[in-house]
A and B are shown apart, each in its own frame.
Chain A
Amino acid sequence: MQNQRERLLAALSQLLDERGYEATTVSMIGKRASVSKSDFYRQFKSKDACFVAAYDDAVEQIREPALAACGAADSWPQGVVAALRALLEAFASEPARTSLILVEGLRAGRGIYDRYQAALESFVAQLRDGAPPPPDGSHPPEATDEAVVGGVAALLSRRVIAGETARLPELLPEIAEFALTPYLGATEARRIISG
């Protein structure tokens, strides 16, 4: 059963990449996954429900390595850099999944923005937790972590739309600097990234 579910999610994700959401039907998903229509409906209420599940699943697949990399680091700033590296590599390694998360999924709408927002929020919490007080004692304004995460996500989406998914890891130094600077100042951020 679990197997069926996974096959359906994978099939949907492939079909989205090939045809887009509108043109994908429940029969196509079933056929691609070798699952009967009635079994499809045993797993998911509707195409939309399958889509939301596929989206959450995809997000989880890139969140996991990012969190693991972060947890293995010695310090907060190194954790941020490690998480970003893992994230960019996970994005680059599976373009269809990346497009689902950052572009196609969002285009299809249908409540996916709630999941996207939730995913971003979880990264915001991750960034905020353990962030050191800035050297001069003044905290960055509240919106900072959200704007940092939102800004990085926007940049990544733009690059994916431009067809540069495979090259996302090259952005690591710039993105890491952008993410760390509000907390550490530019000099220290750059030192950590090059170190």
Chain B
Amino acid sequence: MQGRSAIGGYSSAMPGGAQGRGRPARKPARTPRPELPKEFIAAHKRRRIMDAIAELTAENGYDATKIGDIVRRAGVARKTLYDNFEGKEEVFLSAFDAAVEESAEQVEAACATIGGDEWEARLQAGLAAFLRYVAEHPAVARMCLIEALSATPAATDRYGAAMQRYVELAGAVTPDSELLPETIDETLVGGVAWIVYQQIRRKEAELAEDLLPELSEFMLAPFQGAADAAGRRRRNA
């Protein structure tokens, strides 16, 4: 059941009592840290490397980011990076995938908290979760929504696939209506991505949640319009 978080938050994978066990932690920093499982350390290093590339590409762009910068920022040996990844592009793509996975899971989880046929509230909850993710991870958001667009051809393809995933997420929540264009979910998700893109470029990713009212109205309007229209037609019939 816990399996899903394997890629995402390593913090949640922290073995329960690792810190609090034993005496109050007043040891010098150099004391060998006891019994963190090897896999945990490995995953943690992987994660640090991915976090580092997110920060560095956000600061300097993908091209200017070198392997040396990444290992320095992550505080790992060059060998560790190459044990885990083929090279810079794979680090970038892995970080991108992890972020898409993590954000999409949070969106899905938020949607799942609203039951029944309250799809409007569900859509808003999902949108709010997405904006919160952007606000809480500004560097990662910049990597995914800006740098990925031009980093490498493979990255551009991943971006397209991530868009598709979000289009499907939106499609699963919005009601089907023969009154609405088939492409509605694509245009809505594309519109939201564009507004968030601009927010990030203005270096205001942290304030992404401020966009919630406008963007939820933007996403809901076509459906409400269609519902109103259907209602009027029923009344007139």
Whether the pair A107, B163 counts as a contact (CB closer than 8 A) is: no
Whether the pair B214, A109 counts as a contact (CB closer than 8 A) is: no
CB-CB under 8 A from A174, the residues of chain B are: 181-184
B50 at the interface (CB under 8 A from A): no
Task: List CB contacts (< 8 Å) of B149-163 with chain A.
Answer: 149-151, 153, 156, 160, 163
Q: At the interface with chain A, which of B73-81, B110-118, B125-133, B222-230?
A: B222-230
- Chain A residue with Cβ nearest B61: A109
Shortest distance from the beta carbon of A164 to any chain B beta carbon, whole Å? 12
Whether the pair A155, B187 counts as a contact (CB closer than 8 A) is: yes
Majority-rule SS of B interface residues: helix
CB-CB under 8 A from B180, the residues of chain A are: 186
A171 at the interface (CB under 8 A from B): yes
A187 at the interface (CB under 8 A from B): yes
Whether the pair B184, A150 counts as a contact (CB closer than 8 A) is: no
Q: What number of A residues sit within 8 Å (CB to CB) of B?
A: 40
A161 at the interface (CB under 8 A from B): yes
A71 at the interface (CB under 8 A from B): no
A149 to B171, CA, bound (A): 20
CB-CB under 8 A from A181, the residues of chain B are: 221-222, 225
Task: List CB contacts (< 8 Å) of B131-186 with chain A.
Answer: 146, 149-151, 153, 156, 160, 163, 179-184, 186
Q: Mark B76-113, 1 if CB is under 8 A from A, else 0.
A: 00000000000000000000000000000000000000
Whether the pair B221, A153 counts as a contact (CB closer than 8 A) is: no
CB < 8 Å neighbour of A147 from B150, B160, B183, B195? B195
B10 at the interface (CB under 8 A from A): no
Whether the pair B229, A154 counts as a contact (CB closer than 8 A) is: no
Q: At the interface with chain B, which of A39-47, A72-80, A137-145?
A: A137-145
A141 to B215, CA, bound (A): 8
Whether the pair B192, A158 counts as a contact (CB closer than 8 A) is: no
Shortest distance from the beta carbon of B31 to any chain A beta carbon, whole Å? 47
Whether the pair A146, B186 counts as a contact (CB closer than 8 A) is: no
A174 to B153, CA, bound (A): 30
B5 at the interface (CB under 8 A from A): no
B194 at the interface (CB under 8 A from A): yes
Whether the pair B186, A158 counts as a contact (CB closer than 8 A) is: yes
Whether the pair B222, A109 counts as a contact (CB closer than 8 A) is: no
Whether the pair B163, A143 counts as a contact (CB closer than 8 A) is: no
B189 at the interface (CB under 8 A from A): yes
Give me the interface of B with A, judged by CB distance under 8 Å.
Answer: 146, 149-151, 153, 156, 160, 163, 179-184, 186-195, 197-198, 201, 211, 213-215, 217-218, 221-222, 225-226, 228-229, 232
Nearest 7 CB-CB pairs, A to B?
A154-B190, A150-B194, A109-B150, A151-B191, A174-B181, A147-B191, A186-B225
Give me the interface of A with B, judged by CB distance under 8 Å.
Answer: 20, 106-110, 112-113, 117, 120, 140-144, 146-155, 158, 161, 171, 173-175, 177-178, 181-182, 185-187, 189-190
